Amino acid sequence: MKKLEIYVTAETYRDLCSLIKARGWEESTGLRMILGAGLGFLMGEDFSGEETDLPKNTQQLVTRLVEDEAILASTRFRMFELQQANRNWELSNGAVYKENISLKNLASRHIEEIKGLKEKIKDLENELGGLRSQLEVNTNKEGKESVIERHSAWKNWIRKILK
């Protein structure tokens, strides 16, 4: 695609906008249609000036060529826009795919870390259970209440007070 920039008089611009509005086109599409139609017309005039074995409906053929050139110009530009949108989508899709892979890897690492932490928790709970048993045995040897029994007694006493 090539960018074409031209200057026209204000009157010509108003005429172009009026025609585009009357046909219900967007401005950029309409300008391409008009440019394509003009190109087709000029190409048709070159063609009609020659002595050839053309059918008698040359004017209809020229008109049809003009219309087809206008449609073709607009279609080519629309195809260009869609190609650009598709390219952008492919880039975006690739980024999403890579992000998805990295998030899956991160989730796998976190799952492994969680498994390791759960194992450590089990080990610590087992160790805590052993320490509780030792504490109860040591306090019972001295004939005193265990910490757990004292804790339960305190809990009951606080409940009675709060009622």
Give the helix ranges, DSSP H, for the chain.
10-23, 27-48, 58-141, 147-162
Query: Is 67 within 8 Å of 40 (Cβ atoms)?
Result: yes
Query: What band does 146 get if pLDDT is binned at 50, 70 and 90?
Result: low
Weakest-pLDDT range from 15-19, 112-116, 135-139, 140-144: 140-144
Distance CA 27, CA 21 (A): 8
Q: Where are the domains of the chain?
A: 10-162
Length of the chain in residues, anyone?
A: 163
pLDDT at residue 155 greater than cutoff 90: no
Query: Is 32 within 8 Å of 77 (Cβ atoms)?
Result: yes
**Both tokens assigned to 6:** 């031209």
- Cα 28 to chain centroid distance, Å, stands at 26
Query: Is 62 within 8 Å of 41 (Cβ atoms)?
Result: yes
Encoded amino acid at 5, one letter: E
Distance CA 29, CA 71 (A): 10
pLDDT in tens, 38-96: 777 777 666 555 555 555 677 777 778 878 887 888 888 888 889 989 988 888 888 88
Share of the chain above pLDDT 70, in %: 79
